[in-house]
Each structure stands twice: as C-alpha cells, then as structure tokens.
Amino acid sequence: MAETLKEKTAKGLLWGGLNSTVQQLLGIVFGIILARQLNQSDFGMIAMISIFSLIGNDLQNSGFKTALANLREPTDRDYNSVFWFNILMGGSIYLVLFLCAPLIARFYHVPELTALARYAFLGIVFASFGTAQSAWLFKNLRAKQQAKAGMVAVLLSSSVAVVMAYMGFAYWALATQTNLYILTCTLLYWHYSPWRPTMQCPSDGSRFKVQGSKFKVQGPSDCSNAASQRSKFKVQSSKADAQRTIPSTLNSKLSTLQDVLRPALKMFRFSVKLLISQVLTDVNNNILNILIGRFYGRHDTGNYNQAFQWSTKGSNIIQNMVQQVAQPVLVSVDNERERQLRILRKMMRFAAFLSFPLLFGLSLVSHEFIVTLLGEKWAESAAYLRLLAIASAFLPLSTLLSNVVITKGRSNIFMYVNLTLACLQTLTMLAIYHFHLSLPSLSQLSTLSQPLLNPFSTAPQALPQLSTLNTQLSLNPFSTAPQALSQLSTLNTQLMTMVLAFTALTILWFFVWGFFARRLAGYRFRMLLSDVLPFLLTAAAVMIATGFITAILPSLLGGAGGRLLLLLARIILAALLYFLIMKISGSQILQECLDFVNKNRHKKYSST
C-alpha cells in the first residue's frame, strides 16, 4: 500500500530527527574530546577559512539541490546535467582557491593558513561528486538513507580526528575531520541512490523509478540529437582528412557537453538567486568569524567559534529535522493553498515546541556546560554561547518561513532579504569596531542585579565578588556561580557587544521572514504569534524558574563535581517543568508526538 503524504512527512521527520540527534550527540562527544585536546588557536585557524569552504561548496552546488526539489517531476536528464555541472564547477573553484590561499593567509596575518587552506578546500571537490545523488534522495524523501549516511560519516570522521589530535596534528585534525565527513557522505549517497551519471544526453521525456532495490529507466535511452549527428564523420583514408577529423571530434565533444549541461543552465536562472542567497546566509552566519579573525586574532576567533559551533549544534537538531521534509512537502501541495498553510503551521508549532526549550536551556547552562565538559580554558566562550543560543532558537523557524518563499518560486525575494541582512550585519559590526562601541555600565548593572539573582549569598560575601563582576553576568540572568567571575574578568566587552547585536538582528529577521510568508502564503502575523508565542513564553518561564530554584546549589556544592551536579539538576528540572506544563495545558503537538512514538512501538512489538 502506497504511503500517504502525511505518513511520508512523519517518517521523514522521524528519520530527520534521528539523523540530527545522533549526529549532534556524536558531535558533542567528539567535540568535547577535541576541545580538551586542542586549544583556541587551533579552532581559530579553521574558523578563519571556514567561510571560504562554505562559499566554495555553495558555488559548486549552485542551488541545484533546491532547484531539483522544486521541479514536480525532474527527469534523468536534469540530474545528469546537474552532476556534470557540479564536477566542472567544483574543480574550477578549488583551483581558484588553491591559488588564492596565500592571499587569505595575508589577510589574516597568519602564514600557516596557506597550506591548511589548500588541504581543507579539497572538501569542495569531494562534495561536487555527491550533489546530484543527494538531490535525488532529498527529492524522493529518502530521509532514512540520508540519515544513515550522515551518522556513519560523522562517526568515522570524528574518530579519525580524535586520533590525529592525540598524535599532535593540531588543526590538521580538524581539517581532516571535515574532508573525511564530506567524502564519506558522498560515497554513501552513491551507494543509496540508484541514479548514475552518463556522458550521454537522456531525452527530456525519460523517467526513472525504483522497484525495490532495482533501478529502471523508462522512456528513450538513446538521446542522440542533431548536434551529435552533425559531429559524425566518415573515416577517410587520406592523411589530410584524418587530420581534419581531430578538431571536428573536439567540436563534437564540446557540442555533446553543451547538450548535457543545457538543462542545468536552464535551471540556473532560478537557482542562481538561491546560490547568491546561500552565499549571503553563510556570510551572515560567519561574519563575526571573519571580522574577529581579522581584527582580534586566532585566539579570540577560537573562543567565539567554539560558542558558535555549540549553539548551531543545538539548532541543527531541529533545523535539519524539518529541512529534510519541509520543501518537498510544501511543493507537493503548492496548488492547495489552505492545505499548504495548515502543514506550514503544524511544522512551525513542532519546531517551536522543540527549539525554544532546547536552546533556551543551553543558554541557561552555558557556563556549567562549557567549563565542566570542555575545561576552564574555554570559560570565555560561555558568555558568547549564552547569547548565541538564544539567537539559534529562532533559526529553525526562520528556515521554515524562508522555505515558503522558495516554494512559491520567489528566489529573488529570498536573495534580497539575505542581502539586506548581510549588509546590515556587516555595517553594524564594522561600526562597533571602528567607533569602539561597547555596552556602557554593564558592570554597574551586574553589581546591582547579582544580589537579586542570588538571594542566598550574604551581602558581605557578595561584595568582593561584585567588584570584579563583568559583562557576562549582566547578560546572564541565571549566573549564580562565583567561579565565573575570575575567569571572565578579561572578557572583551566589544566582542560581547558584537555578539549581542548579532543576536538582536537574528531575532529581528525571524519577523522579516514572517512578513513575506504572510504576503505569499497568507500566514498572518496573528497566526504566527499563536503558533510560536506559547512555546517561547513557556520555555522562557521554565528557564527563569529553574535558574531561581537552583540558585542555592553553587553555595552548597563546590568544585568540578558541584558544577556537574548543577548542570544535571538544571537540565532535569527544566525538562520536567516544560513537559508538565505542556501536558497540563493539553499541547496538541506533544500529544501527537507521544501518539506517534506509541504507534511505532506497538508496530515493533506486534511484528516480533
């Protein structure tokens, strides 16, 4: 019996969630090991060049994965064209970046970046061989296969990176981790996808389908055309004719290549806007890595990037889960406006139900999490993580709203919105640096607020601590641990101001995407608030309550063991409070999640 769209969506969300959760959990485990073994400068080196790798991968991908997903019935010819386009583009981009590596090193004033960049950029070439296969799996909602590929890749690449780190390879271990992850994913995409490329040019009407594990092409398999017919020459016995055949054969091959690439070039008119938008998104997400690396050096870049990576690990669990199915499902019901809106609203509620408690919770335990698991040397990252986690809570929701814009074929709006954000963020960060802007009197606000936030500390004991209190505590209404004070006394308040501005702009842009979702899909602002606000307010209230309830623990427990117990206590208490509130309030999303889990458990037991 064929699966319904609802069943495919639920299964896609399940496997997408499993994939994201397992990958992020493995990333957490291996990330802790690598962070303890390596230092801030090692991570800073990779962070400095990450933007170039991301842009390189965007250029070789050229938005074709999304473009193929946006086609109702992409043909074999479409996939074939995209495959060869990506190969040519990936090789060309790597060559350009290979030659530009010395310039990148000079920009950051770090000569060692030349060799590292040339090695790290190999991932662009590896990725170019898997774009078409990944697009096929994505279009056909093969979330299970994508999940298996991702989980195997992260386990293998992280294990190798840990071994290299212990052997003293420093930042080379991190570059190898990324390259091996991409290579493994590409190989497994080939394994799971039945589609294979060819230098022939399949006809526009060719279709393929999967029957079990077998791959079958339906339609004309011989795709010779007028251009290839004109390129055939009879073999002549004379030497002069044989010599004339050589350029003719070359022209024939070029003509065949043009025919192969023609579908991709047609799609490029749509995907180029997505390409520009993705490049702008990567710039938006990494603007602080670029500027901190340029102005403050690899040490500060490493501290910030560590916080940024942990915040994105949290948001990616939800973002990747919904991303696996959002666009294909929304495209499939594009002709049914009301049904599409219902599906979008349910996805938004599901994302908000998970995103706000997870990321607000990470903000709550940021100091205990960083210092306990990564070590005291990373304490400065906790201050950045506290804000970045709040910003990341809105990213899965913004991604869903932006998918509406893409589904409606308005890639121009998608591009201009991202361009505006990129310009605004860049100008804001440059202004903060150039004019030496920092938040005034934060330490004074911290001094006044700390006794209220920690009512269990006596005034005489609190005064020496308050005299050294810095920006971190003013931005963390949950910080009650005195251990944070001495470690963060040298926190760069200008960087903290940049992070705060980045957070504010990220939250603001959620409402910008909501504005365009209203125009294109009828998703009114009132609907958006009713879908999102209950989960946001509940999660915020739970975290504030948890912070106050556990405020007494630092004074009772000291040392690393005390931090670990505080971390566990806050996680368990916050999770229980959130679950109870959702259960008592009769949350439909919670009930549907429980019903889905119970249904699958019942099927598992009944089949054994």
Give the pLDDT score at 354.
92
The pLDDT value recorded for residue 480 is 42
- Highest mean predicted confidence (pLDDT) among 8-22, 280-294, 312-326, 358-372: 358-372
Tens digit of pLDDT for each residue in 349-385? 999 999 999 999 999 999 999 998 898 899 989 999 9
With beta carbons less than 8 A apart as the criterion, state whether 344 and 404 touch.
Answer: yes
Q: Are 360 and 389 in contact (CB under 8 A)?
A: yes
Angle among Cα 474, 475, 481 to the nearest 5 degrees reads 70
**Token pair recorded at residue 395:** 């990213």
pLDDT of residue 227: 45
| 336: three-class secondary structure by DSSP | coil
- 69-83, 256-270, 307-321: range with lowest mean pLDDT: 256-270
DSSP 479: -
Least confident of 132-136, 306-310, 350-354: 132-136
The mean predicted confidence, pLDDT, of the chain is 79
Flag the least confident range among 23-37, 267-281, 386-400. Answer: 267-281
Q: What is the pLDDT of residues 170-191, one digit of tens each?
A: 999 999 999 999 999 999 999 9
Q: Give the span between the Cα atoms of 384 and 370, in whole angstroms.
A: 11
Q: How far is CA 322 from CA 149, 270, 300, 431, in A?
A: 18, 23, 33, 36
Structure tokens at 427: 């100008």
Q: Is the pLDDT of residue 89 over 70?
A: yes
The better pLDDT of the pair 256, 453 is held by 256
Return the bridge partners of 214, or none: 211
User: Average pLDDT in the 271-298 region?
Assistant: 86
Q: Are 563 and 371 a contacting pair, CB within 8 Å?
A: yes
281 or 232, which is more confident?
281
pLDDT for res 100 = 95
pLDDT above 70 for 166: yes
Q: Give dist(CA 15, CA 23) in Å, integer.
A: 12
The residue-averaged pLDDT of 226-247 equals 47
CA-based torsion, 252, 255, 259, 265: positive or negative: positive
Res 184: pLDDT = 95
Number of helices (H) and strands (E) in the chain: give both, helices first: 27, 2
Residues 482-511: pLDDT tens digits?
444 444 444 678 889 999 999 999 999 999
Burial class, 292, CB count within 10 angstroms (exposed 0-12 / middle 13-18 / buried 19+): buried
d(CA 325, CA 321): 8
418 pLDDT above the threshold of 70? yes
Closest C-alpha among 379, 576, 578 to residue 568: 576
Worst-scoring range by mean pLDDT, 4-8, 275-279, 304-308, 558-562? Answer: 4-8
Q: Which of 406, 273, 218 is nearest to 330 (CA)?
A: 406
Whether 97 shows a pLDDT value over 70: the answer reads yes
Contact in structure between 430 and 494 (CB atoms under 8 Å): no
What b/e string do you get for 25-39 counting C-beta neighbours within 10 Å, with b at 16 or more? ebbeebbebbbebbb
Q: With 50 as the cut, is the pLDDT of residue 460 above it?
A: no
Beta strands in 167-211 (DSSP E): 207-211
Mean pLDDT is highest, among 60-64, 322-326, 484-488, 545-549, for 545-549
Question: Which residue in this structure is represented by tokens 């501005």?
Answer: 501
Name residue 8's amino acid.
K
Q: What is the pLDDT of residue 508?
A: 96
Select, from the ranges 90-94, 224-228, 547-551, the one with the highest average predicted confidence (pLDDT): 90-94
pLDDT of 606? 52
Helix (H) or strand (E) holding 93: helix 76-108
Report how far residue 315's alpha carbon sits from residue 133's, in angstroms, rounded to the nearest whole number.
26
Q: What is the C-alpha separation between 180 and 194, in angstroms, rounded?
A: 23
Rounded Cα gap, residues 67 and 406, in angstroms: 9
Residue 395 has pLDDT above 90, yes or no: yes
Q: What is the average pLDDT across 50-72?
A: 83
Residue 396 has a pLDDT of 92
- pLDDT for the residue 589: 85
Residue listed under structure tokens 């479409």: 78
Q: For residue 580, how many other CB atoms are within 10 A of its CB?
A: 11
pLDDT tens readout for residues 585-597:
988 888 887 776 6
The whole-number pLDDT of residue 498 equals: 93
* pLDDT at residue 216 tops 50: no
Q: Would you tell me how many other CB atoms lie within 10 Å of the CB of residue 229?
A: 9
